[in-house]
Structure 1
Amino acid sequence: MADFPNIDTDLLRTFVAIADHGGFTRAADVVNRTQSAVSMQMKRLEEDVLQCALFKREGRSVSLTTEGLLLLGYARRILKLQGEVFSTLRKPHMVGTVKIGSPDDYVMRFLPGVLSRFAQDYPLIDVEVHCEPSSQLLQRNDLDLTIVTRMPGSEMGQILRHERFVWMVAEGFSPHEQTPLPLAMFNTDCFCRTWACNALDNQQREYRVAYTSASLAAINAVVSTGLAVTAQLQSLLTPNLRIIGEAQNLPELPSASIVLLRKHSGATSPIIECFADYIVEGFKL
Protein backbone atom coordinates (compact mmCIF):
# COMPACT_ATOMS: atom_id res chain seq x y z
CA MET A 1 0.00 0.00 0.00
CA ALA A 2 1.33 3.45 -0.91
CA ASP A 3 2.47 5.58 2.01
CA PHE A 4 0.31 8.69 1.60
CA PRO A 5 0.37 11.61 4.07
CA ASN A 6 -2.52 12.02 6.48
CA ILE A 7 -5.16 14.63 5.61
CA ASP A 8 -6.20 16.59 8.69
CA THR A 9 -10.00 16.84 8.78
CA ASP A 10 -9.66 20.42 10.06
CA LEU A 11 -8.10 21.27 6.70
CA LEU A 12 -10.97 19.60 4.89
CA ARG A 13 -13.55 21.40 7.03
CA THR A 14 -11.97 24.76 6.19
CA PHE A 15 -11.73 23.82 2.52
CA VAL A 16 -15.43 22.95 2.39
CA ALA A 17 -16.31 26.22 4.18
CA ILE A 18 -14.41 28.19 1.52
CA ALA A 19 -16.21 26.32 -1.26
CA ASP A 20 -19.63 26.79 0.38
CA HIS A 21 -19.22 30.47 1.27
CA GLY A 22 -17.30 31.67 -1.76
CA GLY A 23 -14.13 32.96 -0.19
CA PHE A 24 -11.58 32.93 2.59
CA THR A 25 -13.03 35.83 4.60
CA ARG A 26 -16.51 34.36 5.14
CA ALA A 27 -15.05 30.88 5.67
CA ALA A 28 -12.82 32.28 8.42
CA ASP A 29 -15.95 33.36 10.33
CA VAL A 30 -17.58 29.97 9.84
CA VAL A 31 -14.61 27.94 11.13
CA ASN A 32 -13.80 30.53 13.83
CA ARG A 33 -10.30 31.31 12.59
CA THR A 34 -8.54 34.40 11.30
CA GLN A 35 -8.30 34.89 7.55
CA SER A 36 -4.52 34.51 7.71
CA ALA A 37 -4.91 31.20 9.55
CA VAL A 38 -7.31 29.97 6.86
CA SER A 39 -4.85 31.00 4.16
CA MET A 40 -2.06 29.10 5.92
CA GLN A 41 -4.26 26.02 6.22
CA MET A 42 -5.00 26.02 2.50
CA LYS A 43 -1.36 26.63 1.63
CA ARG A 44 -0.47 23.57 3.68
CA LEU A 45 -3.22 21.51 2.03
CA GLU A 46 -2.13 22.53 -1.46
CA GLU A 47 1.63 22.48 -1.12
CA ASP A 48 2.46 19.96 1.60
CA VAL A 49 -0.38 17.45 1.54
CA LEU A 50 -1.89 17.20 -1.95
CA GLN A 51 0.75 19.03 -3.97
CA CYS A 52 -1.73 20.53 -6.42
CA ALA A 53 -3.60 23.82 -6.84
CA LEU A 54 -7.12 23.75 -5.41
CA PHE A 55 -8.12 27.38 -6.02
CA LYS A 56 -8.16 29.83 -8.90
CA ARG A 57 -7.64 33.33 -7.53
CA GLU A 58 -8.73 36.34 -9.58
CA GLY A 59 -8.48 39.48 -7.49
CA ARG A 60 -10.68 38.92 -4.44
CA SER A 61 -12.74 36.17 -6.02
CA VAL A 62 -11.90 32.51 -5.46
CA SER A 63 -13.10 29.49 -7.41
CA LEU A 64 -12.14 25.83 -7.38
CA THR A 65 -9.83 24.23 -9.91
CA THR A 66 -10.66 20.86 -11.45
CA GLU A 67 -8.68 19.23 -8.65
CA GLY A 68 -10.48 21.36 -6.10
CA LEU A 69 -13.89 20.26 -7.36
CA LEU A 70 -12.76 16.65 -7.20
CA LEU A 71 -11.53 17.08 -3.62
CA LEU A 72 -14.79 18.77 -2.58
CA GLY A 73 -16.78 15.59 -3.15
CA TYR A 74 -14.30 13.48 -1.21
CA ALA A 75 -14.08 16.06 1.59
CA ARG A 76 -17.84 16.09 2.11
CA ARG A 77 -17.92 12.30 2.27
CA ILE A 78 -14.99 12.12 4.70
CA LEU A 79 -16.53 14.71 7.05
CA LYS A 80 -19.91 13.01 6.88
CA LEU A 81 -18.39 9.64 7.76
CA GLN A 82 -16.44 11.20 10.60
CA GLY A 83 -19.65 12.66 12.01
CA GLU A 84 -21.40 9.30 11.77
CA VAL A 85 -18.55 7.58 13.61
CA PHE A 86 -18.71 9.98 16.54
CA SER A 87 -22.51 10.01 16.61
CA THR A 88 -22.75 6.22 16.55
CA LEU A 89 -19.88 5.23 18.83
CA ARG A 90 -19.41 8.15 21.23
CA LYS A 91 -22.95 9.49 21.41
CA PRO A 92 -25.32 6.70 20.36
CA HIS A 93 -28.18 8.48 22.18
CA MET A 94 -27.93 11.44 19.79
CA VAL A 95 -30.52 10.07 17.39
CA GLY A 96 -33.91 11.65 16.91
CA THR A 97 -35.66 14.83 15.81
CA VAL A 98 -35.55 18.46 16.88
CA LYS A 99 -38.17 21.02 15.85
CA ILE A 100 -37.15 24.64 15.47
CA GLY A 101 -39.19 27.72 14.61
CA SER A 102 -37.69 30.86 13.11
CA PRO A 103 -38.70 33.88 11.05
CA ASP A 104 -37.81 33.64 7.37
CA ASP A 105 -35.07 36.27 7.55
CA TYR A 106 -33.06 34.42 10.19
CA VAL A 107 -33.42 31.18 8.26
CA MET A 108 -31.78 32.80 5.23
CA ARG A 109 -29.01 34.61 7.09
CA PHE A 110 -27.99 32.42 10.03
CA LEU A 111 -29.40 28.89 9.81
CA PRO A 112 -27.53 27.57 6.74
CA GLY A 113 -24.23 27.59 8.63
CA VAL A 114 -25.85 26.26 11.81
CA LEU A 115 -27.55 23.38 10.00
CA SER A 116 -24.44 22.53 8.00
CA ARG A 117 -22.18 22.26 11.04
CA PHE A 118 -24.79 20.38 13.07
CA ALA A 119 -25.40 17.86 10.27
CA GLN A 120 -21.68 17.18 9.98
CA ASP A 121 -21.38 16.41 13.69
CA TYR A 122 -24.76 14.73 14.24
CA PRO A 123 -25.92 13.23 10.93
CA LEU A 124 -28.47 10.94 12.60
CA ILE A 125 -30.55 13.79 14.04
CA ASP A 126 -33.39 15.09 11.86
CA VAL A 127 -34.17 18.81 12.01
CA GLU A 128 -37.62 20.25 11.26
CA VAL A 129 -37.57 23.98 10.46
CA HIS A 130 -40.83 25.95 10.68
CA CYS A 131 -40.75 29.47 9.19
CA GLU A 132 -43.26 31.93 10.65
CA PRO A 133 -43.23 35.50 11.99
CA SER A 134 -42.19 35.98 15.61
CA SER A 135 -45.74 36.89 16.67
CA GLN A 136 -47.06 33.54 15.40
CA LEU A 137 -44.16 31.50 16.73
CA LEU A 138 -44.78 32.89 20.22
CA GLN A 139 -48.25 31.30 20.13
CA ARG A 140 -46.97 27.78 19.42
CA ASN A 141 -46.11 25.20 22.05
CA ASP A 142 -45.10 22.30 19.81
CA LEU A 143 -41.57 23.53 18.98
CA ASP A 144 -38.46 22.47 20.83
CA LEU A 145 -36.58 25.69 20.07
CA THR A 146 -37.88 29.02 18.83
CA ILE A 147 -35.98 32.05 17.55
CA VAL A 148 -37.93 35.31 17.81
CA THR A 149 -37.42 39.07 17.69
CA ARG A 150 -38.09 41.17 20.78
CA MET A 151 -37.82 44.82 21.72
CA PRO A 152 -34.95 45.59 24.11
CA GLY A 153 -36.31 45.41 27.63
CA SER A 154 -38.96 42.82 26.75
CA GLU A 155 -36.60 39.90 26.17
CA MET A 156 -37.42 36.44 27.43
CA GLY A 157 -35.24 33.40 26.95
CA GLN A 158 -31.60 33.44 25.88
CA ILE A 159 -30.36 36.51 24.00
CA LEU A 160 -28.54 35.51 20.81
CA ARG A 161 -27.58 38.99 19.58
CA HIS A 162 -28.67 42.62 19.44
CA GLU A 163 -29.39 44.08 16.01
CA ARG A 164 -30.14 47.48 14.51
CA PHE A 165 -33.10 47.88 12.21
CA VAL A 166 -32.14 50.03 9.24
CA TRP A 167 -33.69 51.43 6.08
CA MET A 168 -32.38 49.85 2.87
CA VAL A 169 -32.59 50.72 -0.82
CA ALA A 170 -30.93 49.38 -3.94
CA GLU A 171 -27.61 50.82 -5.06
CA GLY A 172 -28.19 53.40 -7.80
CA PHE A 173 -31.87 54.00 -6.96
CA SER A 174 -33.67 56.57 -4.80
CA PRO A 175 -37.24 55.40 -4.08
CA HIS A 176 -37.00 57.22 -0.73
CA GLU A 177 -37.37 60.50 -2.63
CA GLN A 178 -40.91 59.59 -3.70
CA THR A 179 -44.08 60.77 -1.99
CA PRO A 180 -45.71 58.76 -0.62
CA LEU A 181 -42.72 56.63 0.37
CA PRO A 182 -43.09 53.14 -1.21
CA LEU A 183 -42.35 50.32 1.22
CA ALA A 184 -41.69 46.61 0.66
CA MET A 185 -42.48 44.72 3.87
CA PHE A 186 -43.63 41.38 5.20
CA ASN A 187 -47.34 40.81 4.65
CA THR A 188 -47.92 39.46 8.13
CA ASP A 189 -47.90 40.96 11.59
CA CYS A 190 -44.17 41.30 12.20
CA PHE A 191 -42.06 43.55 14.38
CA CYS A 192 -40.08 45.20 11.60
CA ARG A 193 -43.20 46.28 9.71
CA THR A 194 -44.85 47.62 12.85
CA TRP A 195 -41.74 49.51 13.96
CA ALA A 196 -41.12 50.99 10.51
CA CYS A 197 -44.70 52.20 10.14
CA ASN A 198 -44.80 53.60 13.68
CA ALA A 199 -41.57 55.51 13.08
CA LEU A 200 -42.94 57.03 9.87
CA ASP A 201 -46.23 57.89 11.57
CA ASN A 202 -44.38 59.66 14.38
CA GLN A 203 -42.42 61.63 11.79
CA GLN A 204 -45.65 62.34 9.92
CA ARG A 205 -44.00 61.01 6.77
CA GLU A 206 -46.47 59.95 4.09
CA TYR A 207 -45.96 56.33 2.97
CA ARG A 208 -47.68 53.33 1.45
CA VAL A 209 -46.93 49.62 1.80
CA ALA A 210 -46.62 49.04 -1.93
CA TYR A 211 -45.25 45.49 -1.91
CA THR A 212 -45.76 42.69 0.58
CA SER A 213 -44.62 39.10 0.86
CA ALA A 214 -44.02 36.44 3.47
CA SER A 215 -40.62 35.79 1.87
CA LEU A 216 -37.51 37.85 2.53
CA ALA A 217 -36.16 36.78 -0.87
CA ALA A 218 -39.22 38.25 -2.58
CA ILE A 219 -38.93 41.51 -0.64
CA ASN A 220 -35.25 41.81 -1.53
CA ALA A 221 -36.07 41.15 -5.18
CA VAL A 222 -38.48 44.10 -5.21
CA VAL A 223 -36.08 46.39 -3.38
CA SER A 224 -33.17 45.37 -5.62
CA THR A 225 -35.00 46.68 -8.67
CA GLY A 226 -35.36 50.12 -7.08
CA LEU A 227 -39.13 49.93 -6.62
CA ALA A 228 -39.29 50.41 -2.86
CA VAL A 229 -37.58 50.95 0.48
CA THR A 230 -37.51 48.25 3.14
CA ALA A 231 -36.59 48.10 6.83
CA GLN A 232 -34.68 45.03 7.93
CA LEU A 233 -31.98 43.90 10.33
CA GLN A 234 -28.60 45.34 9.46
CA SER A 235 -27.08 41.85 9.19
CA LEU A 236 -29.44 41.11 6.29
CA LEU A 237 -27.84 43.79 4.12
CA THR A 238 -26.72 42.35 0.78
CA PRO A 239 -24.00 43.77 -1.51
CA ASN A 240 -26.56 45.27 -3.91
CA LEU A 241 -28.31 47.27 -1.16
CA ARG A 242 -27.25 50.30 0.87
CA ILE A 243 -28.34 51.74 4.19
CA ILE A 244 -30.09 55.13 4.31
CA GLY A 245 -31.36 57.14 7.25
CA GLU A 246 -31.57 60.62 8.71
CA ALA A 247 -29.65 62.18 5.82
CA GLN A 248 -32.46 61.00 3.55
CA ASN A 249 -35.14 62.32 5.95
CA LEU A 250 -36.01 58.91 7.35
CA PRO A 251 -36.61 58.35 11.08
CA GLU A 252 -34.27 56.32 13.25
CA LEU A 253 -35.46 52.77 13.85
CA PRO A 254 -35.25 50.90 17.16
CA SER A 255 -32.82 48.12 17.88
CA ALA A 256 -34.01 44.58 18.38
CA SER A 257 -32.99 41.56 20.39
CA ILE A 258 -32.94 38.11 18.84
CA VAL A 259 -33.72 35.52 21.49
CA LEU A 260 -33.85 31.74 21.73
CA LEU A 261 -36.74 30.10 23.58
CA ARG A 262 -36.96 26.54 24.86
CA LYS A 263 -40.11 24.46 24.78
CA HIS A 264 -42.85 26.06 26.88
CA SER A 265 -43.37 22.90 28.93
CA GLY A 266 -39.78 23.09 30.13
CA ALA A 267 -39.05 19.65 28.73
CA THR A 268 -35.62 19.34 27.24
CA SER A 269 -33.20 16.68 26.06
CA PRO A 270 -29.52 16.32 25.15
CA ILE A 271 -30.48 16.67 21.48
CA ILE A 272 -32.33 19.96 22.05
CA GLU A 273 -29.60 21.42 24.24
CA CYS A 274 -26.91 20.36 21.77
CA PHE A 275 -28.69 22.02 18.86
CA ALA A 276 -29.29 25.10 21.00
CA ASP A 277 -25.53 25.39 21.53
CA TYR A 278 -24.99 25.32 17.75
CA ILE A 279 -27.59 28.07 17.30
CA VAL A 280 -25.91 30.26 19.91
CA GLU A 281 -22.56 29.90 18.18
CA GLY A 282 -24.09 30.45 14.74
CA PHE A 283 -25.65 33.77 15.71
CA LYS A 284 -22.30 35.12 16.85
CA LEU A 285 -21.04 35.14 13.24
Structure 2
Amino acid sequence: MPYSIDIDQLRTFLAVAELGSFTKAGDAVHKTQSAVSMQMKKLEERIAQPIFVKDGRNSRITEHGRRLIEYARRMVALNDETLSAFHEPEIAGRIRLGLPDDYAERLLPQVLAAFNRLNPGINLDVECSSSNEIGRRIQKGDLDIGIVTSEDCSSVPGQIVRREPLQWVGSREHIVHDQRPLRLAVGPTTCSWRRDGVAALDHENIPHQVVFTSASAAALAGAVNAGLAIAILPASALRQGHRVLGEKEGLPPLPPCDITIIRAQVAIEPVHDALCHHIEASIGNVTMEYNPTEVEVVE
Protein backbone atom coordinates (compact mmCIF):
# COMPACT_ATOMS: atom_id res chain seq x y z
CA MET A 1 0.00 0.00 0.00
CA PRO A 2 1.48 3.42 -0.95
CA TYR A 3 2.27 5.72 1.93
CA SER A 4 2.60 9.11 0.23
CA ILE A 5 1.10 11.26 -2.52
CA ASP A 6 3.17 13.60 -4.63
CA ILE A 7 2.33 17.22 -3.76
CA ASP A 8 3.28 18.37 -7.25
CA GLN A 9 0.75 15.95 -8.74
CA LEU A 10 -1.93 17.28 -6.39
CA ARG A 11 -1.08 20.87 -7.32
CA THR A 12 -1.45 20.02 -11.01
CA PHE A 13 -4.71 18.16 -10.34
CA LEU A 14 -6.17 21.24 -8.62
CA ALA A 15 -5.16 23.37 -11.59
CA VAL A 16 -6.96 20.97 -13.96
CA ALA A 17 -10.07 20.94 -11.77
CA GLU A 18 -10.20 24.70 -11.38
CA LEU A 19 -9.31 25.65 -14.97
CA GLY A 20 -11.21 22.84 -16.70
CA SER A 21 -8.45 22.13 -19.18
CA PHE A 22 -5.25 20.09 -19.27
CA THR A 23 -3.68 22.72 -21.52
CA LYS A 24 -4.60 25.67 -19.29
CA ALA A 25 -3.49 23.73 -16.22
CA GLY A 26 -0.15 23.03 -17.88
CA ASP A 27 0.34 26.74 -18.53
CA ALA A 28 -0.52 27.52 -14.91
CA VAL A 29 1.95 25.01 -13.43
CA HIS A 30 4.55 25.42 -16.20
CA LYS A 31 4.22 21.93 -17.67
CA THR A 32 3.41 20.56 -21.11
CA GLN A 33 0.01 19.00 -21.73
CA SER A 34 1.62 15.57 -22.02
CA ALA A 35 3.36 16.07 -18.67
CA VAL A 36 0.04 17.01 -17.08
CA SER A 37 -1.60 13.89 -18.52
CA MET A 38 1.24 11.72 -17.22
CA GLN A 39 0.96 13.24 -13.76
CA MET A 40 -2.78 12.61 -13.66
CA LYS A 41 -2.24 8.99 -14.74
CA LYS A 42 0.30 8.49 -11.95
CA LEU A 43 -2.03 10.14 -9.44
CA GLU A 44 -4.83 7.76 -10.43
CA GLU A 45 -2.45 4.84 -9.98
CA ARG A 46 -1.40 6.11 -6.57
CA ILE A 47 -4.93 6.44 -5.18
CA ALA A 48 -6.06 3.32 -7.08
CA GLN A 49 -9.20 5.07 -8.32
CA PRO A 50 -10.13 6.85 -11.56
CA ILE A 51 -10.27 10.63 -11.19
CA PHE A 52 -11.21 11.30 -14.82
CA VAL A 53 -13.55 9.44 -17.14
CA LYS A 54 -13.59 9.68 -20.94
CA ASP A 55 -16.54 11.49 -22.52
CA GLY A 56 -15.98 11.50 -26.24
CA ARG A 57 -12.76 13.35 -26.97
CA ASN A 58 -12.81 15.00 -23.57
CA SER A 59 -12.81 13.86 -19.96
CA ARG A 60 -14.87 14.60 -16.89
CA ILE A 61 -13.96 14.52 -13.23
CA THR A 62 -15.34 11.45 -11.49
CA GLU A 63 -16.88 11.25 -8.02
CA HIS A 64 -13.50 10.00 -6.75
CA GLY A 65 -11.90 13.05 -8.33
CA ARG A 66 -14.43 15.33 -6.68
CA ARG A 67 -13.61 13.81 -3.30
CA LEU A 68 -9.91 14.18 -3.97
CA ILE A 69 -10.23 17.94 -4.52
CA GLU A 70 -10.82 18.64 -0.82
CA TYR A 71 -7.91 16.47 0.32
CA ALA A 72 -5.63 17.90 -2.36
CA ARG A 73 -6.39 21.47 -1.41
CA ARG A 74 -5.69 20.81 2.26
CA MET A 75 -2.47 18.91 1.58
CA VAL A 76 -1.12 21.56 -0.79
CA ALA A 77 -2.01 24.35 1.63
CA LEU A 78 -0.36 22.55 4.55
CA ASN A 79 2.72 21.83 2.45
CA ASP A 80 3.04 25.51 1.53
CA GLU A 81 2.43 26.62 5.11
CA THR A 82 5.11 24.24 6.39
CA LEU A 83 7.70 25.46 3.89
CA SER A 84 6.85 29.10 4.66
CA ALA A 85 7.38 28.47 8.37
CA PHE A 86 10.99 27.47 7.75
CA HIS A 87 11.94 29.60 4.76
CA GLU A 88 10.39 32.94 5.64
CA PRO A 89 11.28 35.22 8.57
CA GLU A 90 9.12 34.71 11.65
CA ILE A 91 6.22 37.13 11.55
CA ALA A 92 4.93 38.97 14.56
CA GLY A 93 1.93 41.12 15.36
CA ARG A 94 -1.56 41.20 16.81
CA ILE A 95 -4.80 39.97 15.24
CA ARG A 96 -8.29 40.79 16.46
CA LEU A 97 -10.43 37.80 15.48
CA GLY A 98 -14.21 37.61 15.72
CA LEU A 99 -16.35 34.49 15.43
CA PRO A 100 -19.71 33.14 16.65
CA ASP A 101 -19.60 31.07 19.81
CA ASP A 102 -20.66 27.86 18.04
CA TYR A 103 -17.65 28.08 15.71
CA ALA A 104 -15.41 28.95 18.64
CA GLU A 105 -16.62 25.85 20.44
CA ARG A 106 -16.81 23.18 17.76
CA LEU A 107 -14.54 24.11 14.86
CA LEU A 108 -11.66 26.30 15.92
CA PRO A 109 -10.24 25.53 19.41
CA GLN A 110 -7.61 23.11 18.15
CA VAL A 111 -7.10 25.17 14.99
CA LEU A 112 -6.30 28.33 16.94
CA ALA A 113 -4.15 26.44 19.44
CA ALA A 114 -2.11 25.01 16.57
CA PHE A 115 -1.78 28.48 15.04
CA ASN A 116 -0.40 29.81 18.33
CA ARG A 117 2.16 27.02 18.48
CA LEU A 118 3.24 27.58 14.88
CA ASN A 119 3.32 31.38 15.18
CA PRO A 120 4.54 32.31 18.67
CA GLY A 121 5.15 35.89 17.56
CA ILE A 122 1.48 36.53 16.74
CA ASN A 123 -0.95 37.46 19.51
CA LEU A 124 -4.60 36.54 18.96
CA ASP A 125 -7.40 38.54 20.58
CA VAL A 126 -10.59 36.49 20.11
CA GLU A 127 -14.08 37.94 20.46
CA CYS A 128 -17.27 35.88 20.22
CA SER A 129 -20.38 37.52 18.81
CA SER A 130 -23.05 36.99 16.16
CA SER A 131 -22.03 36.90 12.50
CA ASN A 132 -24.03 40.06 11.88
CA GLU A 133 -22.27 41.92 14.69
CA ILE A 134 -18.87 40.66 13.58
CA GLY A 135 -19.55 42.05 10.11
CA ARG A 136 -20.39 45.46 11.55
CA ARG A 137 -17.24 45.48 13.68
CA ILE A 138 -15.13 44.48 10.68
CA GLN A 139 -16.54 47.42 8.72
CA LYS A 140 -15.83 49.80 11.61
CA GLY A 141 -12.26 48.52 11.92
CA ASP A 142 -12.77 47.12 15.42
CA LEU A 143 -11.83 43.62 14.22
CA ASP A 144 -9.28 42.44 11.69
CA ILE A 145 -10.65 39.05 10.66
CA GLY A 146 -14.02 37.37 11.11
CA ILE A 147 -15.25 33.81 10.70
CA VAL A 148 -18.97 34.10 9.94
CA THR A 149 -22.01 32.40 8.49
CA SER A 150 -22.22 33.83 4.97
CA GLU A 151 -25.98 34.36 4.93
CA ASP A 152 -25.83 36.31 8.21
CA CYS A 153 -23.16 38.70 6.99
CA SER A 154 -23.91 39.39 3.33
CA SER A 155 -22.92 43.06 3.60
CA VAL A 156 -19.22 42.18 3.89
CA PRO A 157 -17.57 40.26 1.02
CA GLY A 158 -15.41 37.33 1.98
CA GLN A 159 -14.06 33.93 1.03
CA ILE A 160 -16.20 30.84 1.56
CA VAL A 161 -13.98 28.18 3.11
CA ARG A 162 -16.41 25.57 4.40
CA ARG A 163 -19.81 24.29 3.32
CA GLU A 164 -21.95 22.01 5.48
CA PRO A 165 -25.48 20.65 5.18
CA LEU A 166 -28.03 22.13 7.56
CA GLN A 167 -29.97 19.46 9.39
CA TRP A 168 -33.03 19.07 11.54
CA VAL A 169 -31.76 17.81 14.88
CA GLY A 170 -33.72 16.13 17.64
CA SER A 171 -33.05 14.11 20.77
CA ARG A 172 -32.49 10.36 20.69
CA GLU A 173 -34.54 10.09 23.87
CA HIS A 174 -37.61 12.11 22.85
CA ILE A 175 -40.14 12.23 20.00
CA VAL A 176 -40.92 15.93 20.08
CA HIS A 177 -40.58 15.95 16.27
CA ASP A 178 -43.88 14.06 16.05
CA GLN A 179 -45.81 16.87 17.76
CA ARG A 180 -47.74 19.58 15.93
CA PRO A 181 -47.23 22.40 15.97
CA LEU A 182 -43.57 21.46 15.63
CA ARG A 183 -41.61 22.94 18.54
CA LEU A 184 -38.43 24.77 17.49
CA ALA A 185 -35.28 25.82 19.35
CA VAL A 186 -33.61 28.43 17.15
CA GLY A 187 -31.40 31.48 17.08
CA PRO A 188 -32.68 35.07 17.00
CA THR A 189 -34.64 36.38 14.02
CA THR A 190 -31.38 37.55 12.40
CA CYS A 191 -30.15 33.92 12.21
CA SER A 192 -30.18 32.49 8.68
CA TRP A 193 -30.52 28.93 9.98
CA ARG A 194 -33.78 29.97 11.64
CA ARG A 195 -35.00 31.75 8.50
CA ASP A 196 -34.15 28.77 6.29
CA GLY A 197 -35.89 26.32 8.59
CA VAL A 198 -39.03 28.39 9.02
CA ALA A 199 -39.23 29.04 5.27
CA ALA A 200 -38.94 25.30 4.55
CA LEU A 201 -41.71 24.50 7.03
CA ASP A 202 -43.95 27.26 5.68
CA HIS A 203 -43.43 25.99 2.14
CA GLU A 204 -44.68 22.54 3.18
CA ASN A 205 -47.48 23.98 5.34
CA ILE A 206 -46.10 22.31 8.47
CA PRO A 207 -47.37 24.10 11.59
CA HIS A 208 -44.58 25.17 13.93
CA GLN A 209 -43.90 27.23 17.02
CA VAL A 210 -40.68 28.80 18.31
CA VAL A 211 -40.47 27.84 21.99
CA PHE A 212 -36.77 28.44 22.68
CA THR A 213 -34.60 31.26 21.33
CA SER A 214 -30.89 31.67 21.99
CA ALA A 215 -27.79 32.87 20.19
CA SER A 216 -25.81 30.22 22.09
CA ALA A 217 -25.21 26.93 20.30
CA ALA A 218 -24.70 25.21 23.66
CA ALA A 219 -28.10 26.42 24.85
CA LEU A 220 -29.82 25.16 21.70
CA ALA A 221 -28.11 21.78 22.07
CA GLY A 222 -29.29 21.62 25.67
CA ALA A 223 -32.87 22.38 24.66
CA VAL A 224 -32.75 19.57 22.11
CA ASN A 225 -31.32 17.02 24.55
CA ALA A 226 -33.95 17.97 27.12
CA GLY A 227 -36.70 17.22 24.60
CA LEU A 228 -37.99 20.79 24.58
CA ALA A 229 -37.78 21.19 20.81
CA ILE A 230 -35.88 20.33 17.66
CA ALA A 231 -33.16 22.59 16.25
CA ILE A 232 -31.63 23.52 12.90
CA LEU A 233 -27.86 22.96 13.01
CA PRO A 234 -24.94 22.28 10.65
CA ALA A 235 -23.69 18.71 10.45
CA SER A 236 -20.56 19.41 12.51
CA ALA A 237 -22.64 20.79 15.40
CA LEU A 238 -24.25 17.45 16.28
CA ARG A 239 -23.56 16.30 19.82
CA GLN A 240 -23.95 13.17 21.86
CA GLY A 241 -27.62 12.38 22.26
CA HIS A 242 -28.62 14.09 19.01
CA ARG A 243 -30.29 12.44 16.04
CA VAL A 244 -30.69 13.74 12.50
CA LEU A 245 -34.29 14.11 11.33
CA GLY A 246 -35.43 14.32 7.74
CA GLU A 247 -37.86 13.12 5.10
CA LYS A 248 -38.65 9.95 7.05
CA GLU A 249 -39.93 12.13 9.89
CA GLY A 250 -41.88 14.34 7.50
CA LEU A 251 -39.42 17.25 7.52
CA PRO A 252 -38.37 19.18 4.40
CA PRO A 253 -34.78 19.45 3.10
CA LEU A 254 -32.65 22.41 4.13
CA PRO A 255 -30.06 24.42 2.17
CA PRO A 256 -26.35 24.20 3.01
CA CYS A 257 -24.57 26.53 5.40
CA ASP A 258 -21.48 28.43 4.22
CA ILE A 259 -18.70 29.56 6.55
CA THR A 260 -16.78 32.58 5.31
CA ILE A 261 -13.59 34.43 6.23
CA ILE A 262 -14.02 38.21 6.11
CA ARG A 263 -11.27 40.80 6.56
CA ALA A 264 -11.10 44.47 7.37
CA GLN A 265 -9.72 46.65 4.58
CA VAL A 266 -6.56 47.25 6.62
CA ALA A 267 -6.02 43.54 7.37
CA ILE A 268 -3.54 43.00 4.55
CA GLU A 269 -0.35 42.26 6.47
CA PRO A 270 1.50 38.90 6.47
CA VAL A 271 0.13 38.15 9.94
CA HIS A 272 -3.42 38.32 8.60
CA ASP A 273 -2.56 36.18 5.58
CA ALA A 274 -0.98 33.60 7.88
CA LEU A 275 -4.13 33.19 9.99
CA CYS A 276 -6.49 33.07 7.00
CA HIS A 277 -4.38 30.45 5.24
CA HIS A 278 -4.12 28.40 8.43
CA ILE A 279 -7.88 28.41 8.99
CA GLU A 280 -8.58 27.56 5.36
CA ALA A 281 -6.11 24.67 5.44
CA SER A 282 -7.54 23.37 8.72
CA ILE A 283 -11.31 23.50 8.22
CA GLY A 284 -11.83 24.33 4.56
CA ASN A 285 -13.70 22.02 2.22
CA VAL A 286 -14.60 24.45 -0.57
CA THR A 287 -12.27 24.98 -3.50
CA MET A 288 -14.52 26.39 -6.20
CA GLU A 289 -17.98 27.82 -6.70
CA TYR A 290 -19.09 25.29 -9.31
CA ASN A 291 -19.77 21.58 -9.08
CA PRO A 292 -16.51 19.87 -10.10
CA THR A 293 -18.33 16.75 -11.29
CA GLU A 294 -19.78 18.89 -14.08
CA VAL A 295 -16.50 20.38 -15.26
CA GLU A 296 -15.43 19.41 -18.73
CA VAL A 297 -11.72 18.73 -18.87
CA VAL A 298 -10.43 19.51 -22.34
CA GLU A 299 -7.38 17.52 -23.37
Q: 2:115 maps to what in 1?
A: 118
CA shift, 1:247, in A, is 1.0
Q: 1:82 maps to what in 2?
A: none
CA shift, 1:282, in A, is 2.0
Cα distance in 1 between the residues matched to 2:107 and 2:267:
25
CA shift, 1:279, in A, is 0.8
SS of residue paired to 2:110: helix
Q: 2:144 maps to what in 1?
A: 144
Cα distance in 2 between the residues matched to 1:267 and 1:107:
21
Aligned pairs, how many? 195
CA shift, 1:156, in A, is 4.0
Q: 1:189 maps to what in 2?
A: 190
Question: Normalising by the residue count of structure 2, what TM-score does the alignment of the two structures yield?
Answer: 0.60
Percent of aligned positions that are identical = 35
Cα distance in 1 between the residues matched to 2:124 and 2:247:
42
8 Å CA contact 2:94, 2:123 repeated in 1: yes
8 Å CA contact 1:133, 1:188 repeated in 2: no
SS of residue paired to 2:136: coil
Cα distance in 1 between the residues matched to 2:161 and 2:257:
11
One-letter amino acid matched to 2:269: S
Partner deviation per Cα, 1:52-87 (whole Å, 9 max, x = no partner): xxxxxxxxxxxxxxxxxxxxxxxxxxxxxxxxxx89
Q: 1:168 maps to what in 2?
A: 169
Cα distance in 2 between the residues matched to 1:188 and 1:99:
27
Cα distance in 1 between the residues matched to 2:131 and 2:267:
21
8 Å CA contact 1:99, 1:128 repeated in 2: yes
Cα distance in 2 between the residues matched to 1:118 and 1:144:
16
Q: Which runs of 4+ in 1 moved over 6 A?
A: none
Give the number of the structure with larger relative contact order, counting CA–CA contacts within 8 Å between residues 6 or more apart: 2
Cα distance in 1 between the residues matched to 2:282 and 2:223:
28
Cα 1:246–1:200 change in 2 (3 A) is same
Question: Normalising by the residue count of structure 1, what TM-score does the alignment of the two structures yield?
Answer: 0.63
Q: Of 126, 131, 140, which aligns to 2:128?
A: 131
Q: 1:275 maps to what in 2?
A: 275
CA shift, 1:266, in A, is 4.8
One-letter amino acid matched to 1:149: T
Cα distance in 1 between the residues matched to 2:129 and 2:198:
20
List aligned pairs for 1:1-285, cutoff 5 A: 91-92=89-90, 94-140=91-137, 141=139, 142=141, 143-150=143-150, 156-187=157-188, 189-263=190-264, 265-284=265-284
SS of residue paired to 1:194: helix
CA shift, 1:280, in A, is 0.6
SS of residue paired to 1:107: helix
Partner deviation per Cα, 1:177-214 (whole Å, 9 max, x = no partner): 11111111113511111111111111111111111112
Residue ranges of structure 2 left out of the alignment (5+ in a row): 1-84, 286-299
CA shift, 1:133, in A, is 2.2
